[in-house]
Chain A
Amino acid sequence: QSVLTQPPSASGTPGQRVTISCSGSTSNIGSNTVNWYQQLPGTAPKVLIYSNKQRPSGVPDRISGSKSGTSASLAISGLQSEDEADYYCATWDDSLSAWVFGGGTKLTVL
């Protein structure tokens, strides 16, 4: 059972907008910023969003992040086939004194 809760799956057609949620508590998301990682099949994770909504260079602006209270969201607009991957949210948990991850969401482009 992961500390952060994500839906196990999400899907959309090319061009659509999809959102992935990440729910936590006051000791993690409620107290710290959230990062999002994309993991393509058979590869290492790659950071997509850091500090709730900041994009590293090279990440397109059709990808965005937000946070409110103890929840965060990742939005991908203009869905493309190359977006098919697993997505993980992560943050620091003050009670556990540890980085915690969500269980991951598998995004399928139909």
Chain B
Amino acid sequence: QVLLVQSGADVKKPGASVRVSCKASGYTFTDSGISWVRQAPGQELEWLGWISPYNGNTKYAQIVEGRVTMTTETSTNTAYMELRSLRSDDTAVYYCARDRGVIRGFDSWGQGTLVTVSS
């Protein structure tokens, strides 16, 4: 079955960077995109961007454009999301999800990674 396993929780100071990983298994990694979604405490889901493991193409949401970089490593079936210049309002659970496109949406999700930004 499709499985997305993310890296563990992290605590960062304001201004630092964080990198979250997402290891995929159970399907051909290059056949589907990976989207990243975050959820601040008690808040709604917020899409951060998408990457194609097939060709590395990316699309970032305006809310993080300029501070985020999404990459993939096809040799290990792993996707990464790096967020820079962290602020306190970046504190959230970050999820990766297999993105099947406009019709099927996000059909599998990672377990989530809590990133806490605090001085």
Residues of B close to A90: CB separation below 8 A:
45, 105-106
Contact pattern, A 74-109, Cβ under 8 Å of B = 1, otherwise 0 = 000000000000001011100011111111100000
Nearest-neighbour CB distance to chain B for A30, whole angstroms, equals: 14
A102 to B61, CA, bound (A): 16
Given contacts A32-B102, A97-B59, contact A44 B46 (CB under 8 A): no
How big is the A interface, by class? 20 to 34
A38 to B107, CA, bound (A): 12
Given contacts A99-B47, A101-B47, A103-B44, contact A47 B107 (CB under 8 A): yes
Mostly, the A contact residues are strand
Residues of A close to B112: CB separation below 8 A:
44
B102 pairs with A33, CB closer than 8 A:
yes
A44 to B22, CA, bound (A): 14
Nearest-neighbour CB distance to chain A for B10, whole angstroms, equals: 17
Measured CB to CB, the residues of B under 8 A from A are: 35, 37, 44-47, 50, 59, 61-62, 95, 97, 102-107, 109-112
Measured CB to CB, the residues of A under 8 A from B are: 2, 32-33, 35, 37, 44-47, 50-51, 56, 88, 90-92, 96-104
